[in-house]
Amino acid sequence: MKKYFTIVITLCSFWSWSQEIHPCGQVRAMGDFFKRHPEERAAAAAARMQLEEYTRSFSQNRGGGMTIYTIPVVFHIVHNNGTENIDNSQIYDAVNILNRDFRLQNADTMSIVDAFDQLAADIGIEFRLATKDPNGNCTNGITRTVSDLTYIGDDQVKDLIMWPRNKYLNVWVCQSANGAAGYTNLPENVAGVWGAGNDGIMMRSDYIGSIGTSSTSRSRTLTHEVGHWLNLMHTWGDSNEPGLASNCDMDDGVDDTPNTIGWTTCSLTGATCGNVVDNVQNYMEYSYCSRMFTQGQAVRMRAALTSSVAQRNQLITASNLLNTGVTNPTLCDVNFSSQKVVVCVGDSVGFVDLSYNVPTQWNWNFGDGNTLSGNTPGVHQNPYHTYTAPGVYNVALTASNTTGSMTETKNALITVYEPGSLSLPIWDGFEESQINSARWTRWNEQGDEGLVVSANAAYTGNQSLYLQNVSADVSGTRDAIISAPFSFSNEDTAYVSFKWAWANRTDNTNDVLRVSASGNCGETWTVLRTKQGVSNLPTAPDNNGNFIPTGTDQWDADVITITNAAYFNDQFQLKFEFTGKGGNNLYIDDINVYGPEGMSVLETAHSLDIHAYPNPSEETMKIELSGWASGNCQMQLTDASGRLVWQGNKTSQLGSDNITEIPHHAAGVYLLQVNNEHFRATKRIIFK
Q: How many Å apart are CA 517 and CA 565, to the nearest integer? A: 12
Strand partners, 452: 466
Residue type, 372: L
CB neighbour class for 680 (10 Å; exposed up to 12, middle 13-18, buried from 19): buried
Nearest to 513 by CA among 554, 457, 574, 441: 574
Q: Kindly write down the DSSP assignment for every residue of 102-143, as one continuous string.
A: HTT--GGGGGS-HHHHTTB----EEEEE-SB-TTS-B--SEE
For residues 220 and 281, the answer to whether their CB atoms sit within 8 Å is no
Sign of CA dihedral 598, 603, 604, 606: negative
**Helix, strand, or coil (residue 356):** strand
Number of H helices, E strands in the chain: 10, 33
Catalytic residue among 188, 225, 285, 491: 225
Q: How many Å apart are CA 255 and CA 571, to the nearest integer? A: 68
Nearest to 517 by CA among 558, 459, 576, 460: 576
**Helix, strand, or coil (residue 659):** strand
CB neighbour list of residue 398: distance below 8 Å, 6 or more residues apart:
334, 362, 363, 405, 406, 407
Residues in the chain: 688
Strand boundaries in 290-370, DSSP class E:
336-338, 342-344, 348-353, 361-365
Sign of CA dihedral 341, 345, 350, 352: positive
CB neighbour class for 203 (10 Å; exposed up to 12, middle 13-18, buried from 19): buried
- Max alpha carbon distance in the chain (Å)? 106
Q: How many Å apart are CA 305 and CA 314, to the nearest integer? A: 9
CB neighbour list of residue 177: distance below 8 Å, 6 or more residues apart:
153, 183, 202, 203, 204, 207
Q: Phi then psi for 32, rounded to 5 degrees?
A: -65, -35
Peptide bond into 436 cis (omega under 30): no
CB neighbour list of residue 641: distance below 8 Å, 6 or more residues apart:
561
- Indicate the angle between helix axes 26-36 and 39-60, nearest 10 degrees: 120
CB atoms within 10 A of CB 416: 21
Would residue 225 show up in a list of annotated catalytic residues for this protein?
yes
Active site residues: 225
